Structure 1
Amino acid sequence: MRKLALPVGREALLPLGLAVLLVLGALTAFQVTRPTTLTIAVAPEGGTEPALLRAYADELARRRLGIRLKVLPFAGVRESAEALKAGKADLAVVRPDVAMPGNGLTLAVLRELAAFVAAPAASGIKGVPDLAGRRLGMLASRTADRTLVGDLAAHHGLELLTEAASGSAPQTAVALVPVAEADVAAALGAGRIDALVLVTTPTSPAARRLVDHVRAASPDGEVTLIGVPDAAAVLARWPRLQPVTVPAALFGGNPRLPAEDVATVGSSYRLMARADLSRSLAAEVTQHLFEMRAALAETVPAAEDVTHPAYEDTADATSARLPIHPGAIDYYEREQETFIERYESWIYLVAILAGGVGSTAAWLRQRLGRIRRERIEVATARLLELRSEARRETDRARLEGMAGEVDDLAASIARHALNRPTEPRTLAAANVAIEAARSTVGRARAGTG
């Protein structure tokens, strides 16, 4: 007896296309909404910049923003710059006069440094040439600071002696004497140093304390601040430095100290990004840093020193010796990409996938409906075949088999009708075929009895 083999594999495989499209849509949504983690190289060890950027990373995570920072610490800014250059970091703290990565573009200035000398007025030191043969006190400083002071001294024809013996320095040199902050006033009073050189942020509390120590050691309480008057020439020789102005009356208003603005040069600690970092990510990192500045300053006062790099226009910003990242410029000029612009490609992809999912779902519904109809039609055709065969069959055993097959086909049609929508016309035809087949088989069985 021939058994009916209904197609069962196609209906199970057809939803695969829809499932694939749904997975692609979910992956796209995940890609758009998941946070982006950037690696940031921080230095110098023990400095204010690592503390600031760790606090920034923590605040980004606490607010659950779309950017996350993975902090990678280094001992010095030369190493952090190398990490950015080698592609080991997306962002880095860079001091340009120490090491400038060729692929680094500025996002923000974390801290500006100014080089200037504070001397008791009674010392007679009025300018850099007056430092010849003198002893300059300097806090236990970093190598980069000593290098900067040495370059400035060399520009004025003076040799910087970092291991000078006691007593006056030669008239062609200036001696650099390490001194602790607490010993500045005593060292000036005892004549161990004649003035104090600072490489620091002029507005910082530390700078104010040091100037106060010099004032305390001055017999008349007056202090002279000396900068670098020929800053343009210095910057021409060392283009990675920058002009800095110490504002008048910064260290006191009565009497004013300094009496007038003091022009000098200095360096800066900068937050830099890889040049190939997307504009939208660079803009977002810059935006969040400035928006969080006040909150960060509550725990890390150095956040107050964060500022934007100075530039005249976009062309100046991108062609400067220390160029600014286009993404940071977008933030500064309020031209950041909108959500639509940033994820335009993804949105188009989602739209295409959504259209594809809809079309595929409609096709699958149509296809599955046709398969269900075909199954019932095949069963109906077989019932009609059994009816014809039963009219000619005289073997009772074979008629018994036909009766069983009719029952099986009826059960199969019933299951499809219960579990899936079925066209009434198709179901009505199947019912007629069932009744006709049963009636014919039944009469044939009675005739053989």
Structure 2
Amino acid sequence: MNQEIKGLFARPMTEPDFVAAPASPPPRSARRRLSFVMIAGVLAIVGALAAGYYFAMRPVNLRIAVGPANSDDLKMVQALAQAFNQGNSQIRLRLTQTDGAVASAEALADGKADLAIIRGDLDVPKNAQAVATLRKNVVVIWVPPQGKARGGKAAPKITKIAQLAGHRVGVIGRTPANVNLLKVVLQQYGVDPAKVEVIQFPANETAEAIKKEKADAYLAAGPVNSKITTDAIAASNRDGGTPTFLAIDAAEAIAQNHPAYEASEIPAGSLGGADRPEDEVKTISFSHHIVARRGISESTIALFTRQLFSIRQSLKNDFPPAARIETPDTDKDATIPVHPGAAAFVDGDEKTFLDRYSDYIWWGLMLASAMGSAGAWFAGYLKKDERSINTSQRDRLLDMLAAARHSDSMEELDQMQAEADNILRDALTCFEHGGIEQGTLTAFNIALEQFHNAVTDRKLLLISMPQNLQRASAQFRAAGTA
């Protein structure tokens, strides 16, 4: 009988008695760390998108150099700046007042200004590119009505530019550019500039100088309907006589030799009266340009040019000189090369938002993809502990399965079953966190089912055994392990 009991309940002596050990729950902080990482990643992406949008849509401030004080150019730019700085304009203007076109060109060349108003017949900075033509100026040379010379004799009448030798020519404005302009005209007609006495005076002293006959002829440069020019011509009237306008018949030759000038005409009656002049007068013209510093982005200048011509339409009603603004010359042989942004506006080739920022969007997507891969790796790294504990719990479950088949104690089986329930709970938690896959969870369920079947079978066996056999088996086991 003892041999039968020994055969029924004997176990290998090397197998230790089962000791129930509580399963270690997976670290609850892993899910929290993963949540923090995901939130931080989302916030970083949102922040990058917001920063990119702000960078793309923020107003751009451009410094524009213009002068001198109280000039038509300064008044024009002030009106433009006021219009630009209203509303939600993407381009804003900041004025940098200078002593004149030469100083404005120097400010642009030195990088102290982004835009400048310059004269086309002066030295153009190498880093200047045309954006728009602010206005065109015509050269007007006239002789006041003939007065009396000394001794009561009539003064020689001047009807041609070639007759200016030996006479005084008054140049309106203090800028040396107008004096150089006069010299260009004189040289074209073979007149030695040294034989002409040049007298300069500011615009506000023109009427007084003409009344005092400080010069025999006068030169003014400005728009056809310039108030400075028309007032000076009106001051030249004497005793009902009208001034004589000197035609620059060699205008085309001058334009050929000096590309900054163009052959032009003064329309009849455009200088303050029907007889000023009576007929069309040939002359030369030059332009005042809005130029941009080379290196300013194409998109910025395209936006500026679009805003400029949009504002021109609404501004010309209140500020008529704005109507003179014209698009730049986009020809390759233009005197001042056009800025690519202005050329894109004129030619209708402006880049769209996607054209301008497609590279940034592509790199942003690449960065987001890289961040996603890094986040997935980091998430997997954070779940490493859960997977490791899950593996140890699976091994523990298999050990419990083997132990349940040889257990002789109902209490021990109940304790193992309770531990298996905890292992199941932790496995489900790991599955929810993504620590284990569906296949691993299925394997867990199979192992648990086998374990519960083994516990059920063992309990049925123990219940069917008489109490004396159970006690004898326990005593035998105790003696075998002693």
137-146 or 415-424, larger mean C-alpha shift: 415-424
Match of 1:211 among 233, 237, 241: 233
Aligned to 1:166: none
Give the CA deviation at 1:377.
4.2
Higher alpha-carbon Rg: 2
Quote the Cα distance in structure 1 between the aligned partners of 2:425 and 2:103: 78
Q: How big is each residue's C-alpha offset from its partner over 1:1-52, in whole Å with a ceiling of 9 and x where there is no partner?
A: 7974847669739749955983686168427732362533312231333443
CA distance in 2, matches of 1:75, 1:158: 31
Q: Which amino acid aligns with 1:332?
A: V
1:230 to 230, 240, 250: 250
Deviation digits for residues 210-242 of structure 1 (CA, Å, limit 9, x no counterpart)? 22222xx23234222224221233334443334
2:12 corresponds to: none
Q: Distance in 2 between matches of 1:363 and 1:246?
A: 76
Q: Which residue of 2 aligns with 1:165?
A: none
Which residue type is aligned with residue 289 of structure 1?
Answer: L
Residues 107-256 of structure 1 aligned to structure 2 (within 5 Å)? 107-122=131-146, 124-158=157-191, 172-178=195-201, 181=204, 184=207, 187-214=209-236, 217-251=237-271, 254-255=274-275
Partner of 2:332, secondary structure, is helix
Aligned residue number for residue 118 of structure 2? 94
How far apart, in 1, do the equivalents of 2:427 and 2:446 lie? Answer: 8
**Identity %, equivalent residues:** 22
CA contact (8 A) 2:174 2:200 kept: no
1:233 aligned counterpart, secondary structure: helix
8 Å CA contact 1:318, 1:326 repeated in 2 = no
Q: Give the stretch that moved more between structures: 285-294 or 411-420.
A: 411-420
Q: Is the 8 A contact 1:228 1:263 kept in 2?
A: yes
Partner residue of 2:397?
A: 384
* Match of residue 260, structure 1, among 266, 279, 283: 279
Gaps of 5+ in 1: 162-171
2:335 to 300, 321, 325: 321
Deviation per CA, 1:87-137, whole angstroms, max 9, x where unpaired? 444332222333311122211111222222232343633221233333333
Query: In the alignment, what sits opposite 1:284?
Result: 303
Pairing 1:271–2:293 present: no
Distance of aligned partners of 1:417 and 1:348 in 2 relative to their CA distance in 1, 3 Å threshold: closer
Q: 1:218 to 1:200 in 2, by over 3 A?
A: same
Contact 2:174–2:202 (8 Å) recurs in 1: no
Q: What does the per-residue CA deviation read over 1:311-334, in whole Å, with 9 as the maximum and x for residues that have no partner? A: 5xx5xx122233323432332233
The number of residue pairs the alignment matches comes to 423
Query: What's the CA shift for 1:384?
Result: 1.7
- In the alignment, is the contact (CA less than 8 A) between 2:431 and 2:441 conserved in 1? no
Alpha-carbon distance in 2 for matches of 1:66, 1:284: 8
* TM-score relative to the length of structure 1: 0.72
SS in 2 for 1:62: coil
- Is it true that 1:45 corresponds to 2:68 in the alignment? yes
Residues 42 and 74 in structure 1, CA contact (< 8 A), matched pair in contact too: yes
Alpha-carbon distance between aligned partners in 2 of 1:291 and 1:407, rounded to the nearest angstrom: 76
Within a 5 Å distance, the mapping from 1:64-75 to structure 2 comes to: 64-75=88-99
Q: Is 1:81–1:100's contact at 8 Å kept on the other side of the alignment?
A: yes
Correspondence 1:303 to 2:327: no
Q: What's the counterpart of residue 333 of structure 1?
A: 347
Q: 1:192, CA displacement in angstroms?
A: 3.1
Residues 140 and 245, structure 2, Cα contact 8 Å, conserved in 1: yes
Q: CA RMSD in A?
A: 5.1
Equivalent position SS for 1:335: coil
* Structure 2 CA distance for aligned equivalents of residues 331 and 99 of structure 1: 26
Question: Any unmatched runs of 5+ in structure 2?
Answer: 1-20, 148-156, 460-473, 475-482
Q: CA deviation at 1:197?
A: 1.8
Does the 8 Å CA contact 1:283/1:331 hold for their aligned counterparts? yes
